[in-house]
Amino acid sequence: MSSRDFSDEVLVVFFGYTSCPDVCPLTLSNLGRAIREMGEDAHRVQVLFITVDPARDTPERLKAYLSNFHPSFLGLTGPMEDIRSTADGFGAYFSTPRGEGDYTVDHTARTFVVDPSGRIPLTFPVTATPEEMARDLATLLRRFPS
């Protein structure tokens, strides 16, 4: 899967993991509310949640987790090398501890927005409200009529 698969959509990309105690559920909840607030424009926005914990985040676990926030959200996983390369391309940081069991993953709390031309014109901090996200996404979509 690549951004070319979403050529007419704005991609909202967040790096996180399903066991995250705070930043991930807050961000995904706010994104879900923002998408709902957008009305008919919502179909032109695709949220991609890329796990930084592929050892625990199976495709099934990602799908179940993301369904709690919005039915359209997609979860992506893969080999750690691919995830690291993708994160590096966005300038996103994460550090997964070695070992098994209960652990937390330090990761970037910023959400990246990719426009249909493949550029990243804006990012959202963890403090962005659903209203701010919806407004900024709608403004961006107006620059790329469907």
Q: Indicate the pTM of the whole model.
A: 0.93
Q: Say how many domains are in the chain.
A: 1
Tell me, yes or no, whether 3 lies in a domain. no
Pairing of strands 94-95, 74-76: unpaired
Asked, for residue 85, whether it belongs to a domain, the answer is yes
For residues 117-128, average pLDDT: 96
pLDDT in tens, 123-144: 999 999 999 999 999 999 999 9
Q: Is 4 within the bounds of a domain?
A: no
Candidates 64, 81, 62; CA nearest to 14 is: 62
Question: Residue 73 and residue 124: Cα distance in Å, rounded?
Answer: 17
> Which residues span the domain enclosing 91?
10-142
In a domain, 127, yes or no: yes
Model confidence band, residue 5 (pLDDT cutoffs 50, 70, 90): low
Identify the pLDDT of residue 145.
Answer: 85
Within-domain flag for 29: yes
Give the tens place of pLDDT for each residue, 77-116: 999 999 999 999 999 999 988 767 789 999 999 999 999 9
Q: Rounded to 5 degrees, what are φ and ψ at 95?
A: -140, 110
Mean pLDDT of the 62-79 span? 98
* Per-residue pLDDT at 3 exceeds 70: no
What per-residue confidence (pLDDT) applies to 96?
85
In a domain, 5, yes or no: no
Give tens-digit pLDDT for 21-37.
Answer: 999 999 999 999 999 99
Q: What is the mean pLDDT of residues 2-30?
A: 89
Which of these, 27, 10, 9, lies nearest to 18 by C-alpha position? 27
* Tens-digit pLDDT profile for residues 53-67: 999 999 999 999 999
Q: What's 102's domain CATH number?
A: 3.40.30.10
